[in-house]
Copies of this chain bind each other. A is one copy, B any other.
């Protein structure tokens, strides 16, 4: 290691990721969380929330593209989309690449995140100019409750880890609201956890998903910034059979344009569980 300022995320008791900060741009605390922004040599600018690395400007597409383009491929329509969290505008930017999205609402709990993003992640926040985007400050779970029934085509839940701070977002009560707000062909995607250090989070989530969603799949995507480099999303739909991988076709990706991390074969791989995990998750997976 060279001398310098090294920043570790909270990680666990037995491991940590360290990055050398070239420059610390922000180090503060909002009403909701600790927030830090720093520049690194290899992953660009990093946003850190409550001591967890959240997102980096280099390789951002590995997280943001699947979060946007997988659910939008499988939803029956793409008119009305809601992002819960996502105040860094990273996912929003990719959702707005879809010309058939007419309305995108971003409901971020912490207004400070929005300010930080406008200042330090301005390339992403630039998508605010798109008139299809409405930014709201507030509790996403409450917002969904107030949405007219069957009004949303896709709900993208891009929050801090649901096994720590955002645990209210993996409950029967929350999923019931999501299902009510989704149109019949609507889809939800939500960040969950990796399958090594936080595997136990899956055993909390899967039974709740099973009880509530007619169809769902874990999707493990490569996220180089996160420990183990492989992070899991929960993809769920209102209609059985609608999570059809072939919807992420080359034609679909070409239509979006400029997609950096996804191919149909890569997505098919992300949606295929390693056999050891398939076995562990089997009690809750669709047969």
Binding site for B on A (CB under 8 A): 1-2, 6, 8, 11-20, 22, 40-43, 58-59, 61-62, 194, 196-197, 222, 224, 226-230, 259-263, 265-276
Q: Are B8 and A15 in contact (CB under 8 A)?
A: no
Contacts of A6 in B (CB 8 A): 16
Q: How far is the CA of A196 from the CA of B263 in the complex (A)?
A: 19
Q: Are A222 and B224 in contact (CB under 8 A)?
A: no
A1-B16, A15-B40, A230-B224 are contacts. A59–B259 as well, Cβ < 8 Å? no
Q: How many copies does the complex hold?
A: 2
The 9 closest A-B pairs by CB, nearest first: A229-B229, A269-B269, A14-B41, A265-B272, A224-B228, A260-B276, A16-B18, A261-B274, A14-B20
Q: How far is the CA of A271 from the CA of B273 in the complex (A)?
A: 16
Other-chain residue from B197, B259, B268 in contact with A268 (beta carbon distance below 8 A)? B268
* Closest CB in chain B relative to A195 CB, distance in Å: 9
Other-chain residue from B15, B40, B269 in contact with A272 (beta carbon distance below 8 A)? B269
Contacts of A8 in B (CB 8 A): 1, 18
Q: How far is the CA of A19 from the CA of B16 in the complex (A)?
A: 6
Other-chain residue from B196, B261, B267 in contact with A275 (beta carbon distance below 8 A)? B261
Contacts of A259 in B (CB 8 A): 275
Q: Are B276 and A272 in contact (CB under 8 A)?
A: no
What are 6 A-B interface contacts by the 8 Å CB criterion? A1-B8, A6-B16, A13-B41, A265-B269, A266-B274, A268-B269
Contacts of A271 in B (CB 8 A): 265
Q: Are A197 and B42 in contact (CB under 8 A)?
A: yes
